[in-house]
Structure 1
Amino acid sequence: MKSLFIRLVFALLLIQNIPLVVQAKEIKYNHGSLTISEIKRKVDFKVVVPENTPSDWTLEIKTYPWGEKNKITNFNLHYMDSDDKYLLIDIEQSKEASNKEMNINAERVEINGHKGYFVEWGNCGELDKKGEIITGGLLRWKQEGTYVEMYSSRVSRKQMFEVARSMK
Structure 2
Amino acid sequence: MITSIRLFIVLILILLSISSTTAMAKEIKYNHNSITVPDIKNKVDFKVFTPQKVPGGWTLETKTYPWGEKEKFTYIRLHYMDTNDTKLIIGIEQRKQLRLQDERLESNSKQVEINGYKGYFKEWGNSGQLDNNHGELITGGLLSWNQEGTHIEIDSMRLTEEKMLEIARSMK
Partner of 1:68: 69
In the alignment, the residues of structure 2 paired with residue 64 and residue 76 of structure 1 have an alpha-carbon distance, to the nearest angstrom, of 8
Question: Is the contact made by 2:98 and 2:146 (CA closer than 8 Å) also made in structure 1?
Answer: no
Give 1:117's match in structure 2, choosing from 108, 120, 125: 120
Partner of 2:82: 81
Partner of 1:21: none
The one-letter code of the counterpart of 1:84 is D
Partner of 2:13: none
Q: Counterparts of 1:89-100 in structure 2 under 5 Å?
A: 89-98=90-99
Q: Indicate whether 1:52 and 2:53 are aligned.
A: yes
In the alignment, the residues of structure 1 paired with residue 101 and residue 91 of structure 2 have an alpha-carbon distance, to the nearest angstrom, of 19
How far residue 155 of structure 1 moved from its aligned partner, in angstroms, is: 1.0
User: Higher mean Cα deviation, 81-90 or 24-33?
Assistant: 24-33
Pairwise CA RMSD: 1.5
Partner of 1:151: 155
Partner of 1:12: none
In the alignment, the residues of structure 1 paired with residue 78 and residue 54 of structure 2 have an alpha-carbon distance, to the nearest angstrom, of 12
2:78 partner SS? strand
Query: Larger Rg: 1 or 2?
Result: 1
In the alignment, the residues of structure 1 paired with residue 38 and residue 136 of structure 2 have an alpha-carbon distance, to the nearest angstrom, of 35
In the alignment, the residues of structure 2 paired with residue 167 and residue 30 of structure 1 have an alpha-carbon distance, to the nearest angstrom, of 21
How far residue 104 of structure 1 moved from its aligned partner, in angstroms, is: 3.2
In the alignment, the residues of structure 1 paired with residue 26 and residue 110 of structure 2 have an alpha-carbon distance, to the nearest angstrom, of 32
1:42 partner SS? coil
How far residue 56 of structure 1 moved from its aligned partner, in angstroms, is: 1.1
1:31 partner SS? coil
Runs of 5+ consecutive residues of structure 2 not aligned to the other structure? 1-24
Q: Which runs of 4+ in 1 moved over 2 A?
A: 100-105
Partner of 1:127: 130
Q: Counterparts of 1:24-63 in structure 2 under 5 Å?
A: 25-63=26-64
2:120 partner SS? strand
In the alignment, the residues of structure 1 paired with residue 148 and residue 106 of structure 2 have an alpha-carbon distance, to the nearest angstrom, of 21
Question: Is the contact made by 2:145 and 2:151 (CA closer than 8 Å) also made in structure 1?
Answer: yes
TM-score (structure 1 length as normaliser): 0.82
Partner of 2:143: 139
How far residue 62 of structure 1 moved from its aligned partner, in angstroms, is: 0.3
Partner of 1:104: 106
